[in-house]
Structure 1
Amino acid sequence: MTNPLLDDWTTPYEMPPFDRIEDDDFAPALDAALEEARANVAAMAGNTEAPSFANTIEALERADETLGRVLSVFYNLAGADSNPEREALSRDFSPKLSAYSSEVSMNAELFARIEAVWNTRETLDLSEEQMRLLTLTRRSFVRRGAELEGFARDRLAEVTRRLSSLGVEFGQNLLADERAWFMELAEGDLEGLPDFLVEAARAAGKEKGVDGPAITLSRSLIVPFLQFSPRRDLREQAHAAWTARGANGGETDNRDIATEILALREERAGLLGYDSFAEFKLEPEMAKTPEAVRDLLMKVWEPARAAAEADQIRLTAMMHKDGVNGDLEPWDWRYYSEKRREEEHDLDEAELKPYLQLDRMIEAAMACAHRLFGLEFRRVEVPLYHPDVRAWEVTRDGRHMAVYLGDYFARGSKRSGAWCSAIRSQQKLAGDIRPVVVNVCNFARPAEGRPALLSYDDARTLFHEFGHALHQMLSDVTYESLSGTSVARDFVELPSQLYEHWLEVPEVLSEFATHAQTGEPMPRDLLDRLLAANTYDTGFQTVEYVGSALVDLEFHAGEAPEDPMEEQARILEDIGMPKAVGMRHATPHFAHIFTGDGYSSGYYSYMWSEVMDADAFAAFEEAGGPFDPEIARKLEAHILSAGGVKEAEEAYTDFRGRMPGVEALLKGRGLIDA
């Protein structure tokens, strides 16, 4: 029997044949793909022809195409629809893939050929994109240890393998904790909860196999519960479970894993000649140094903390007026903040939410993409990995641009959060390959037959991830290593955060924010109140984010802490973290930085990109408005289609003519006067 992962895919748009793929197919497919990749690398390294860009750099680009195809399918499933078999496969695959990566990066003959091409680069008449690929390929090899010898070389390979396994373990422990906990609610516990939350809780209880409603650790369920439940004891219980993820003791406890990860990262950086892991990690990013990151974060921290502390005083007074004595606690903030928002802006989430239907917000995101970039979206029937997933063909002027998949609802098999990934990335080296892009979210599932309703934060998340998807869909480069979101980590959030701004455009909400029962558009008065409250509670939101980013930075900027939990407490005390706020992601569930290296020393990236996104949207406002065609053309040409062909700062300057300062960010968050 043939393996569907290794066969030619004759499905529409050459989609993965999800209807034929079984979990038992992955291990043999991986082994075959690794064998093929190793053979390709060996042939390159042993090539007797003189090294050239084509037979070395381009050949390396294509060496592991089959491996990439197998892994893109597997890791999409492992994140969005996991099961015990896939979790076991993840643990098995991790050391194998790490070993392969080390073999390639430390292959002396292969690196010698790369060096030969590098040393003659000025004579090769390379295009800008080819020169960029050469530069990044060589840099990647050096940063993965190609210049090391002896013990250092062997030890780096061991450290890399162990880090890979620990990251998988951390993520699986977190998913296990999120999947295991839920809080059943009696009918009396529903008092004060809006209808949309009661319906979502009943749907969650059904999924968990209980007769009544339940609150789970899905953000789209637990956050509104903390906003609306008048039962302080239940809020405290739910908040405690949410913040204890990864720190419950037993087999799923992540605290020792975090300690080991930080120590191994420090060792890895030392082996490569860096003073700290943060210095190593930040070198290729826009920020370049830990000092630059710290400077940005502290410029934002001071006004944000002042705003949060002022809000804390106001919310504490509201709580005392309710007859609850003592300090405002973290499980109180959202409840009293929601009350305050209703008082000050006459804005009630329960009034707002029926206007934010999931299907209409998807339409809104796609309609904006059409007006800005001429993209058309058409629902299609193709093999998919779960019944929740929807598929669209994306075209422009009749040309196929991408397949877009949307996987929107929370379920026990899906890790928390929201993300964008590509099952296939755009490239031209192997033909005109167009991408297959996936947006994954964790919105509360509605009761059967009812429309899914989003909070405004949910709708912003949808637009955010769609911005990442556009970065993939509009990519137009030759080499996959440079395509789509293959850019500096502190630049990759620019397209996503920029796209959030179109949700705030009044004409977009006027057209697509329609009531789930009546179909009527959002009343202008409600729309005005919503937009007027756009910066409401940004002190809280900014403090919980920046606190997490500073902990991440300090964890990696010096010696690895022997006890990360003690170090976390020390850092938060030093910066004066308001007691009632806390970190957005505490260490045991800080998946961004511990499930892999992606955002380690890099959680600041969202804020670094926000400095640019506020300025980038201002370019539209300064021109003909949010849909100005010339600015949209420049955005696509210099950022969305260009991938990583240029350094991020150069790409942004090509678009905007200059780099912005932090003031636009502070004004956008309402932390200084506009």
Structure 2
Amino acid sequence: MEGLRSDFRISTPLPLPRSTASSAPKAPMKRMVCPYMRKSMLSFALLAALAAGAVAQTPQEKIKSAIADADATVGKILVVPDGQRTYENTLGPLDDIQAKLEASTSMPIFMQYVSTDAKERDDAREAEELLTNWMIEFGKREDLYRAVKAYAATNPPLDGEKKRLLDFVLRDYKRAGMDLTPEKRERLKTIERELQKLGTDFQTNIYTDETTVFLRPAELKGLSEDTLKRLKTSNGLVAVTMDGPTFNAIMDSVESEDARQKVWYAYKRRGGKKNVAILEKMILLRNEQANLLGYANTVNYEAETRMAKNSETIAKFYGDLRPLVREKAKADLAEFTAEKRRLTKNTKAGLFPWDQAYIKDQILQRKYAVDSAKVAEYFPVQAVFDGLFQVTQSLYGIEFRERKDAKTWHPDARLFDVFDKASNAKLGEIYTDLHPREAKYNHAACWGLVPRKVWADGSVQLPVAALVTNFTAPTADKPALMTHDEVETFFHEFGHALHNVLTEAQLARFSGTSVARDFVEAPSQMFENWIWDPAVLAKFAKHYKTGEPLPTKTLDAMRKARSLGSGLETEHQIYYGMVDQAYHTAKDGKVDTTKVGVDLLAELEQYPKPDGTWFQSSFGHLVGYQGAYYGYQWSLVYAQDMFERFEKLGVLNPEAGMYYRKNILAKGGTMDDAEMLKAYLGREPRMDAYLKRLRE
């Protein structure tokens, strides 16, 4: 997941959300990532000073000081006479504000995710709220808008990033409603305030939902002892809560179909009908907002800044993808149904949603004999860490040098400088914080912390990223071990880190992962492929006791099992995306979300239609990622298409790595994403590699 970060644009930003990972459905190809949000921020110099006790300001005071500096720059822009406006005194300073603000407000924003101090975390959230409120007002300043319009009216002879910056700033102002009449702007503000409150209520209802299913211990046969110990009991019954780990464990391992069905239904009702009402009100307001701004519907508004551009392109994407995925999904259904009939000794048994994960796990054990716990013994964290560095250093012509004396927020956190091997020039910094602790952010994410910026005097502000995970910590007699899924996650997140620090963008606005949100996951999704390659694993996958390499037959079994159920899982992801599209293209924004969801389920999936659920009440992506869920599959198509070059030239081929570094990672957001991708591929993108991966 690309880390949650403030959307510093000359427009009204979305409220800064918390992770939605826990509400994300299970993904095809083993991994779902959360949607892209712009940067949280960190300046190492400030961090070191704070750690040394040199800065006495409270987090709120730090934010206010940074805002005062930004306001002072705005003041200088505003006093320039319209006839004398230039890039240097009007447009350029807007990017300067972004670069300075992101670098200087980092600590109070980022510490809410990693600090061990409760007050510091609370202060971080308050500081974030101060910054968010300022940014909302900043995006609505009519005086600043008039200054930028006056500069644009001179038809300045800009090119490259500067021309792109002007285009983006003007587009952002339009999307913020600055061209509307005062009455419409006021209505837009009212809608934005109401949507912010409704969105908060919707998410709160999910996270605070206390739905519990009480089952007899005998009904939970197959569930691990560790999971059972974690669950509370009442009057001899086990209280099954609806948190993600518990739900997934039951779906994966409980033998009783009746128990799985009860838990599945409860899970699909989280948030309650109150959230259905909230969602339908949000959909109505979003449609009105889009209409006020001149868009036919919410999807067209959201897609404008993405690669897809409009709802028609997304509809075509799904129209092309669905029949191709259906072939694999039918084969999966036949295999899974046959396995269920074998297990139940019922030749007429059908497959239901609450069966899929359990049946998949049974096939994995019987057909492939893959034991994830034993596989983890070949992946000690430090060995994986070293192997990842070795692979990326060779591929991209870079070198990591740990800064041993760095002051960080916790002893587990480490800092690495990234250098270009050829020139020995420092490119950026990467922090790692790998192990769990109390109150730490409990998923895996990479924060793009400081953007790259080339200042007018030629000096460079270097990019900084932080990779935060929760891999099992070592014990006194055993090193920290990683499951293969965790290794995949590690490579994924490191893909984001490299995208951040290998950027060559001149302007902060286009630094690193500042690409379209339906492309941002593609580079990191692509990098997941490395951990399935025998030559890559040979470098570091060795047993923590004996040093023996991962057995070839084990890896072969893992590779064969990789696409097990991928058709059914992808079809389910298509369903989620098309439901989102249907909600947000509905005429006048009026939609019965439950009926639409049920009708589409009957059309798009092969399961019998289960009645009495309202899954949309807990579909967290419908707040903050509305109209854009398609991006998960969209970016996977591009990820596999880009990987094809490495497959042909070799995943460890430095020539392929440098070509990718220069033509994708270095570009950041400096050019149109579709044009960048086409230039890298040397052709139009296609689905072939994605479909091959789905089927193999």
Q: Normalised by the shorter chain, which TM-score bucket?
A: 0.7 to 0.9
Q: Deviations over 1:477-509 (max 9, x none)?
A: 111110001011122122111111211221112
- Kindly indicate whether the alpha-carbon contact (under 8 Å) linking 1:78 and 1:87 is maintained by their aligned counterparts in 2: yes
Contact map agreement 1:33 1:64 (CA 8 A) in 2: no
Is the 1:98–1:160 contact (alpha carbons within 8 Å) kept by the matching residues of 2?
no
Q: Which one of 419, 424, 440 corresponds to residue 445 of structure 2?
A: 419
Which residue of structure 2 lines up, in the alignment, with residue 568 of structure 1?
A: 597
Matched, 1:158 2:182: no
The 10-residue stretch of structure 1 (409-418 or 110-119) with the greater mean CA deviation from structure 2: 409-418
Q: Distance in 2 between matches of 1:85 and 1:579?
A: 50
**Selected match of 1:333 from 356, 373, 376:** 356
AA partner of residue 195 (structure 2): L
Residue in 2 that maps onto 1:145: 177
Query: Within 2, Cα distance between the matches of 1:230 and 1:14?
Result: 51
- Equivalents in 2 of 1:283, 1:306: separation in Å? 32
AA aligned to 1:653 is: K
2:501 equivalent in structure 1: 473
Stretches of structure 1 lacking an aligned partner (at least 5 in a row): 1-8, 207-212
Distance 1:501 1:605, change over 3 A: same
Report the Cα offset of residue 404 of structure 1. 1.9
Deviations 1:117-142 (A, max 9, x none): 33334x53x34121111211221111
Counterparts of 1:303-382 in structure 2 under 5 Å?
A: 303-323=324-344, 327-379=350-402, 380=404, 382=406
Residue 5 (structure 1) aligns with? none
Q: What SS does the corresponding residue of 2:453 show, helix, strand or coil?
A: coil
- Of 134, 145, 151, which residue of structure 2 is paired with 1:111? 145
| In 1, Cα distance between equivalents of 2:444 and 2:266 | 20
- Bigger drift between 133-142 and 235-244 goes to 235-244
2:251 touches 2:357 (CA, 8 Å); kept in 1?
yes
> What amino acid is aligned across from residue 530 of structure 1 in structure 2?
M
CA contact (8 A) 2:368 2:561 kept: yes
- Contact 2:598/2:609 (<8 A) preserved: no
1:656 CA drift (Å):
1.8
**How big is the shift at 1:374?**
2.6
Matches within 5 A, 1:551-590: 551-558=579-586, 559-576=588-605, 578-579=607-608, 586-590=615-619
Separation in 2, partners of 1:104, 1:481: 16
Mapped to 2, the partners of 1:409 and 1:169 lie a distance apart of 32
Distance 1:346 1:72 in 2: 47
CA distance in 1, matches of 2:49, 2:269: 37
Matched, 1:392 2:416: yes
Match of 2:688 among 654, 659, 663: 663
2:429 corresponds to 1:403: yes
- Aligned ranges for residues 254-653 of structure 1 at < 5 Å? 254-323=275-344, 327-379=350-402, 380=404, 382-385=406-409, 389-397=413-421, 398-408=424-434, 413=439, 417-429=443-455, 431-441=459-469, 443=471, 450-558=478-586, 559-576=588-605, 578-579=607-608, 586-594=615-623, 596=624, 599-623=625-649, 625-653=650-678
Once the two structures are TM-superposed, the CA of residue 373 in structure 1 deviates from its matched residue by 1.0
Change (3 A) 1:314 1:10: closer
Which residue number in structure 2 is paired with residue 6 of structure 1?
none
Looking at structure 2, the residues matched to 261 and 21 of structure 1 have their Cα atoms a distance apart, in angstroms, of: 46
Structure 1 pair 143/376, CA: closer, same or farther in 2 (3 Å)? same
1:17-96 maps to which residues of 2 (within 5 A)?
17=50, 25-48=58-81, 50-63=84-97, 67-69=101-103, 72-79=106-113
Query: Counterparts of 1:67 and 1:359 in 2: how far apart (Å)?
Result: 35
Return the offset for 1:14. 5.3
RMSD over aligned CA atoms reads 4.1
Q: Partner letter of residue 104 of structure 1?
A: F
Number of equivalent positions: 640
Q: Aligned pair in 2 of structure 1 residues 176, 519: CA closer, same or farther (>3 Å)? A: farther
Bigger shift: 152-161 or 479-488?
Answer: 152-161
Taking the aligned partners of 2:492 and 2:610, their CA distance within structure 1 comes to 24
Could you tell me whether the CA contact under 8 Å between 1:464 and 1:500 is conserved in 2?
yes
TM-fit CA distance, 1:306: 4.4
Out of 77-86 and 227-236, give the one that drifted further. Answer: 77-86
Number of the residue aligned with 1:128: 160
Q: CA deviation at 1:552?
A: 1.8
Relative to structure 1, the CA distance from residue 391 to residue 192 in structure 2 (aligned partners, 3 Å threshold; closer, same or farther) is: farther
SS in 1 for 2:448: strand
Q: 2:602–2:608: 8 Å Cα contact kept in structure 1?
A: no
How high is the sequence identity, in percent, across the aligned residues? 28
Shift of 1:273: 0.7
SS of the residue 2:461 aligns to: coil
Query: Per-residue deviation at 1:468?
Result: 1.2
Structure 2, unaligned runs of 5 or more: 1-41, 233-237
Greater Cα shift, 611-620 or 565-574: 565-574
Following the alignment from structure 1 to structure 2, what is the Cα–Cα distance between the partners of residues 526 and 264? 53
C-alpha distance in structure 1 between counterparts of 2:460 and 2:184, whole Å = 42
Cα shift readout 1:217-273 (whole Å, capped 9, x = no counterpart)? 77567545543444556655665665555x158xxx744443343233212211101
**In 2, distance between residues paired with 1:442 and 1:568?**
35
Which SS does the other structure have where 1:511 is aligned? coil
Using the TM superposition, give the Cα deviation of residue 215 of structure 1 relative to its aligned residue in structure 2, in angstroms: 8.8
Q: CA deviation at 1:336?
A: 1.6
CA contact (8 A) 2:514 2:669 kept: yes
Distance in 1 separating the partners of 2:116 and 2:579: 30
Distance 1:184 1:513 in 2: 42
What residue identity is the alignment partner of 1:152? K
Q: What letter corresponds to residue 79 of structure 2 in structure 1?
A: G
- How many Å apart are 1:337 and its aligned residue? 0.9
Residue by residue over 1:341-377, the C-alpha shift from the partner in whole angstroms, topping out at 9 and shown as x without a partner, is 3333343434433334444333333222111113333
- Structure 1 residues 429 and 521 mapped into 2: Cα distance closer, same or farther (>3 Å)? same
Mapped contact 2:429–2:465 kept (Cα < 8 A): yes
Comparing 462-471 with 14-23, greater Cα deviation is found at 14-23
